[in-house]
């Protein structure tokens, strides 16, 4: 199965480091991040899960729950978490799915046979409260993720959902945003009380509306 942007994220029930989890029940009405790892006790993954744990307060501010996955068993996850906590000076308290039968990995297209016939690639999905897939990023097994980018996209998606704006290249929280081309300049002047800066008729900026 191939997951695409805008698709409904498939539900599943699986064992994890925190016991059996139903994905939809786990997410509730929150945003969610589901990310896969090639294997336990691997160096890049160890740094990633440790950094994710350190971002707990940032994810909480964004009403976002995180859940990881690898094809190893629960007992290995629990032992690995001890290593992560020790080496990364943190506490992993989010679940890691045990996907030994690869059911979840195949459901979410996390195994790319030309990269590895058995290990999951380093994929990450952002899922909104309606269970729609809003971002898919896939890295090679050798390259750790950029979590600043994950938070940046979360901020952008939540801003776009709450206000009629889009975000430009390299946008970060606090920067100007773009007025969508579907909104006329006359309507924009009323819709964006902080003002509209027109560079071209199709390229108009306004200060971020929620700050």
Contact of 118 with 100, CB cutoff 8 Å: no
Positions marked active-site: 45
């Amino acid at each position: 199965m191939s997951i695409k942007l805008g698709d409904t994220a498939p539900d599943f029930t699986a064992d994890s480091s925190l016991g059996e989890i139903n994905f939809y029940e786990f997410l509730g009405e929150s945003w969610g991040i589901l990310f896969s790892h090639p294997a336990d006790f691997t160096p890049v993954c160890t740094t990633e899960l440790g950094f994710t744990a350190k971002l707990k307060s940032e994810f909480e501010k964004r009403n976002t729950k995180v859940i990881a996955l690898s094809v190893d068993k629960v007992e290995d996850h629990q032992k690995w978490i001890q290593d992560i906590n020790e080496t990364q000076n943190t506490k992993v308290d989010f679940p890691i799915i045990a996907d030994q039968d690869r059911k979840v990995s195949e459901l979410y297209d996390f195994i790319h046979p030309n990269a590895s016939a058995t290990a999951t690639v380093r994929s990450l999905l952002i899922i909104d409260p309606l269970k729609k897939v809003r971002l898919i990023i896939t890295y090679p097994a050798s390259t750790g993720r950029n979590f600043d980018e994950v938070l940046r996209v979360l901020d952008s998606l939540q801003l776009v959902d709450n206000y009629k704006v889009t975000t430009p290249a390299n946008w970060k929280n606090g920067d100007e945003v773009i007025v969508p081309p579907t909104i006329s300049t006359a309507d924009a002047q009323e819709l964006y009380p902080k003002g509209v800066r027109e560079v071209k008729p199709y390229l108009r900026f306004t200060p971020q509306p929620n700050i």
